[in-house]
């Protein structure tokens, strides 16, 4: 299948759907690890024959099935919007969170989460859950990388990647951390360059397995460039927290992880969506690279959409700039809902 790439800016508003009745089932899914059993919700629209079903894959963190961001249950809202459009969904609590058992996601690794999602797909594919249609994956951020890894999994026929990283984990992390720091240091290019260099050093030290003392020394230098002296940074726990985070299993695994081989293996219908104001997986860094990788593989029917005035989480609030979140006031972007519903209806029925 040839790779086609369509960059589209979406500007029209899309009215959120009014929710009707639907079949909602609590589920329990075993995994390859006996200690990890995933709890989730299967939401199936009424009156739709063999609806496509989306497995929602959360981003980084100890998320429940609803992936709550700024007090908005992002994935619950998305699942209800999909259901209103005749699309089923399955969303699960991350390992160790909500009703799921096992070590928490942030105590595990990306490969652990890949295996958990593989188990979800297998459960959906192999068990009797009513007359469901084509199975697809809808992953956000790290969840998009997981979806890309599993796009060739038996039974998976389509995928949606939201804010997908298309660079090695260490590059993505450095960019995520550097962007706000460089904004604080606007007008001081030497300090901005020093911050980026120290972040790159910390990422390298983490991947190489360095211990806490080494990372603490790097943190002292980093906070110093940001105008925070060592006594203050130690007093409030910032240095210790930084070193602890950089030496935990999840962070070492994330920094070492490279999504590019999986993106080069993409196959079938794939939609990648980025927010134009995403500071974490910026379109400039990631969208073009994803296109290059998919084109090299030559087996994906790829559509890329860049939504204007959207951030990494596709949340918005009237009168607020992209990325300016206020807990309890955010809503899921109608543009995102429209993009997903239109594409799934066109490619997964």
Residue pLDDT, tens place only, 63-82:
999 999 999 999 999 999 99
Tens of pLDDT, residues 190-220:
999 999 999 999 999 999 999 999 999 999 9
Q: Which of 36, 80, 37, 73 is nearest to 58 (CA)?
A: 73
Q: Which residues contact 135 (CB under 8 A, 6 or more apart)?
A: 52, 53, 55, 121, 124, 125, 155, 156, 157
Which has more pLDDT, 99 or 127?
A: 99
Q: Which of 87, 78, 29 is nearest to 58 (CA)?
A: 78
Mean pLDDT, residues 274-297: 96
Q: What is the pLDDT of residue 318?
A: 86
Q: Which two tokens stand for residue 327?
A: 């807990």
Q: What is the pLDDT of residue 17?
A: 34
Q: What is the pLDDT of residue 129?
A: 65
pLDDT band, very low/low/confident/very high, at 319 (cuts 50, 70, 90): confident
Q: Which of 66, 122, 139, 135 is nearest to 98 (CA)?
A: 66
Q: Which of 45, 46, 30, 43 is nearest to 122 (CA)?
A: 30
Mean pLDDT of the chain: 92
- Distance between terminal CA atoms of the chain? 18
Written in H, E and C, the secondary structure of the chain is: CCCCCCEEECCCCCCCCCCCCEEEEEEEEECCCCCCEEEEEEEEECCCCCCCEEEEECCCCCCCCCCEECCEEHHHHHHHHHHHCCCEEEEECCCCCCCCCCCCHHHCCHHHHHHHHHHHHHHHHHCCCCCCCCEEEEEECHHHHHHHHCCCCCCEEEEEEECCCCCCHHHHHHHHHHHHHHHHCCCCHHHHHHHHHHHHHHHHHHHCCCCHHHHHHHHHHHHHHCCCCHHHHHHCCHHHHHHHHHCCHHHHHHHHCCCHHHHHCCCEEEEEEEECCCCCCCHHHHHHHHHHHHHHHCCEEEEEEEECCCCCCCEECCCCCCCCCCCCCCEECHHHHHHHHHHHHHHCC
Mean pLDDT, residues 158-164: 98
Calpha distance 344→337 (Å, rounded): 11
Is pLDDT at 280 greater than 60 in this prediction? yes
Q: What is the pLDDT of residue 204?
A: 98
Calpha distance 340→52 (Å, rounded): 12
- Bridge partner residues of 138 (DSSP): 56, 160
Helices 249-256 + 189-207 axis angle, to 10: 110
Calpha distance 132→157 (Å, rounded): 13
Instruction: Specify the range with the lowest mean pLDDT, choosing from 14-23, 120-129, 242-251.
Output: 14-23
Q: What is the pLDDT of residue 172?
A: 86
Instruction: Give me the domains of the chain, ranges plus CATH numbers.
Output: 7-167+259-347 (3.40.50.1820), 169-255 (no CATH)
pLDDT band, very low/low/confident/very high, at 128 (cuts 50, 70, 90): low
Tens of pLDDT, residues 90-109:
999 999 999 999 999 888 88
C-alpha torsion 102→108→112→117, nearest 10: 60
Residue bearing tokens 């100890």: 62
Q: How many CB atoms are closer than 10 A to CB 295?
A: 16
Q: What is the pTM of this model?
A: 0.87
Q: What is the pLDDT of residue 282?
A: 92
Q: What is the pLDDT of residue 113?
A: 95
Q: What is the pLDDT of residue 59?
A: 96
Is pLDDT at 314 greater than 80 in this prediction? yes
């Amino acid at each position: 299948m040839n790779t086609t790439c369509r960059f589209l800016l979406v500007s029209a508003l899309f009215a959120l759907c009014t929710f009707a009745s639907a079949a909602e089932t609590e589920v329990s899914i075993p995994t390859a690890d006996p200690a990890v059993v995933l709890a989730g919700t299967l939401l199936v629209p009424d009156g739709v024959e063999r609806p496509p079903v989306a497995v929602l894959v959360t981003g980084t963190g100890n998320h429940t099935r609803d992936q709550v961001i700024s007090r908005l249950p992002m994935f619950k809202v998305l699942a209800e919007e999909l259901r209103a459009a005749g699309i089923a969904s399955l969303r699960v609590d991350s390992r160790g969170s909500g009703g799921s058992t096992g070590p928490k996601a942030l105590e595990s690794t990306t490969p652990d989460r890949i295996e958990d999602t593989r188990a979800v797909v297998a459960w959906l594919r192999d068990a009797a859950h009513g007359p469901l249609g084509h199975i697809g994956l809808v992953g956000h951020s790290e969840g998009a990388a997981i979806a890309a890894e599993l796009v060739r999994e038996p039974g998976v026929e389509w995928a949606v990647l939201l804010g997908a990283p298309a660079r090695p984990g260490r590059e993505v992390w450095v960019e995520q951390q550097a962007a706000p720091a460089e904004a604080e240091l606007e007008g001081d290019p030497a300090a901005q360059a020093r911050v980026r260099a120290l972040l790159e050093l910390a990422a390298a030290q983490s991947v190489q397995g360095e211990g806490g003392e080494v990372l603490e020394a790097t943190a002292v230098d980093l906070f110093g460039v940001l105008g925070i002296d060592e006594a203050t940074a130690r007093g409030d726990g910032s240095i210790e927290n930084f070193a602890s985070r950089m030496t935990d299993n999840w962070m070492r695994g994330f920094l070492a992880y490279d999504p590019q081989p999986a993106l080069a293996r993409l196959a079938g219908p794939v939609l990648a969506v980025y927010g134009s104001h995403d500071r974490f997986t910026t379109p400039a860094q990631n969208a073009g690279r994803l296109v290059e990788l998919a084109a090299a593989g030559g087996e994906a029917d790829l559509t890329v959409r860049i939504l204007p005035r959207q951030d990494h989480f596709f949340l918005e609030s009237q009168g607020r700039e992209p990325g300016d979140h206020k807990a309890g006031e955010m809503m899921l972007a109608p543009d995102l809902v429209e993009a997903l519903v239109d594409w799934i209806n066109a490619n997964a029925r």
